Structure formats: structure tokens, C-alpha cells
Amino acid sequence: MKFDEAYSGNVFIGSHPHYEDSKVVLYGMPMDWTVSYRPGSRFGPARIREVSIGLEEYSPYLDRELEEVKYFDAGDIPLPFGNPQRSIELIEEYISGLLKDNKFPLGMGGEHLVSWPVMKAMYKKYPDLAIIHMDAHTDLRTQYEGEALSHSTPIRKIADLIGPENVYSFGIRSGMKEEFQWAKENGMYIAKFEVLEPLKEILPKLAGRAVYVTIDIDVLDPAHAPGTGTVDCGGITSKELLASIHEIARSKVNVVGGDLVEVAPIYDSSEQTANTASKLIREMLLGWVK
């Protein structure tokens, strides 16, 4: 027995044991230090792995099995606790490493700010990159209480980086008036309240493009994801979110990476949120990695 390989108890179900010959790397970004309302998403990735034991390895939606996609669960990126600036640097460096090795990066948050350094790394490799963003919140602030590194700012930072016209937000139902105005004035796409129907309209326009997909679990109604920091009623169902993932899978978009963020287990004693997240990860894996 090789003990360095023995740590299989708490990896995502079906994880391949070796990094080298895996196509996808699954990793956690256990950071929540800029959260304004209810923290706790630092514990999200570990819990998602824990509950993945309850999943089947086959998707009847996609008629595909996990063994058809070699992926390696690399665990959580070791982040310097309480230091957003350094955390962001480490995430960017980590993703750059993955991309150099031609891995498909699939991340688990952590707060939404983690998507920002991921996109910085992605954008270097894919200069025509677009982003599909599913969320209850705009996340378009320039700062929050004076703090530019905040869970309320990542999409704005990304828009500034890749151009607002390459940002497509879906399911948005919360934000400041100024955020919606900024988006409108700068040609950024926002689909309010709904995800699936507007997505069907947008996907053909993105055909052939390199696209990163970031999903904030709070795009779901709190009924479907009570375990998150900022619950906001009026969201979509898990059925609609699954269908949206599958719609992307069946589209001609070239998905080059993705993440699922803001699972905060403490607020959900039934653990339905973590279980749902683990199924979403499975569908993202099976649907987006060809």
C-alpha cells in the first residue's frame, strides 16, 4: 500500500487516483473572509465531497457515467486564512498551473470572490473568453464598505478584465440600482429572475466560443439551497438549474472551466444543499467535459 495515495475517504466520488493522466482537476477554494452577511462557505468543498457518497455515478439526464471522464480531486487549495489578497494570488497561480498541464479546472467555493483569480488565469490562456454567470446577485459593486476585495465585486472585476460585453448573467434578482444601470450602460447582458429560457437565446450566439461558467448556488431558491450565506427568495428550482447545465452541455459552446460557489453547510441541517451541489458537480463534469 502506498500511503500517499491512501487518502480516498474524503474525495469526490469516482475520483481518479492520479493527477497526471486526469483530464479534469476538481479543487476546493475554502475562503469566505470577505462575506458581508452570513459566512460559512469555507466549509463548502469538504462537505460536498463528504456527501458525494450518496450519488450514483451515472447520469440518466446525459446517459453518461463518471468513469467516462477521468478527473482528479486535488482537495482544497491551501489558502492563507483571513488574507484575501494573498488567497487570490494563490488561486490564480494554482489555476495557471492546471492550465499549463492542460487540465480542465472545476472549482468549488468558497465565496464568489474566488472566481475572480480563476478568470485572471483563464483569460491569459483564452483571450476570447466569455463568462456565463448564474446567480441571485449582480456582484457588480466596485467595493463594499470600502473594500474592493469583496464577495460583492467579482463579476465587476471580471467585466473590467474581459469586457462587459463578454459577461452573461442569469437569474439575477438582487443588487443595487447602480449595478443594474452600469450593466445596461456598458453592454453587459443580465437576464433577470430566469435562467433557462434566456440561456437558450444566448447560447447560439456563443457557439464556438471559449466559455467559463460560474454558478452561485444562491441562484436557486432558498427552498432548494437553504445552506448559503445570502438566501434570497424568488429563485429558480433545481430542476431548472439542472436543465440549464444540460442546455449548455448540448450547445456548441466550448466550456473550458467552471465553478460552483457559496455552499455554506451550517445553515442547512438537512444537508440538501451540499447533496444538490454534489449532483450539480457530477452533471457539470459529465456534461461539459467532452
Residues from 146 through 165 that contact a copy of itself (CB under 8 A): 146-147
> Could you tell me the smallest distance in angstroms from the CB atom of residue 188 to a copy of itself?
14
DSSP string for 153-180: SHHHHHHHHH-GGGEEEEEE-B--HHHH
DSSP string for 104-137: EEEEEESSGGGHHHHHHHHHHH-TT-EEEEE-SB
Q: According to the binding rule CB under 8 A, does residue 9 interact with a copy of itself?
A: yes
> Could you tell me the smallest distance in angstroms from the CB atom of residue 54 to a copy of itself?
4
Comparing CB distances to a copy of itself, the nearer of 112 and 279 is: 279
> Could you tell me the smallest distance in angstroms from the CB atom of residue 65 to a copy of itself?
6
CA dihedral 126, 127, 128, 133 (to 10 degrees): 70
> Could you tell me the smallest distance in angstroms from the CB atom of residue 215 to a copy of itself?
13
Q: 136 near 171, Cβ under 8 Å?
A: yes
Measured distance CA(115)–CA(104) in Å, rounded: 15
Comparing CB distances to a copy of itself, the nearer of 38 and 209 is: 38
- 171, three cell numbers: 437569474
Q: According to the binding rule CB under 8 A, does residue 197 interact with a copy of itself?
A: no
Comparing CB distances to a copy of itself, the nearer of 61 and 251 is: 61
Could you tell me the sign of the dihedral formed by the alpha carbons of 192, 193, 195, 197, in that order? negative
Measured distance CA(215)–CA(219) in Å, rounded: 7
* Among the residue ranges 117-125, 154-162, 167-175, 253-261, the one whose residues contact a copy of itself (CB under 8 A): 167-175
Residues 248-267, mask of contacts with a copy of itself (x by CB under 8 A): ------------------xx
Kindly list the strands in the beta sheet with 210-216, ordered across the sheet, starting from the edge strand earlier in the chain. Answer: 71-76, 24-29, 104-109, 254-261, 210-216, 130-134, 167-172, 189-192
Per DSSP, what are the bridge partners of residue 137?
Answer: 174
Site for a copy of itself in 56-115 (CB under 8 A): 56-58, 60-61, 63, 65, 72, 74-83, 93-94, 97
Site for a copy of itself in 21-60 (CB under 8 A): 25, 27-28, 30, 36-40, 43, 45-47, 49-50, 53-54, 56-58, 60
Find the binder of a copy of itself among 159, 242, 284, 289 (CB under 8 A). Answer: 242
Q: According to the binding rule CB under 8 A, does residue 224 interact with a copy of itself?
A: yes
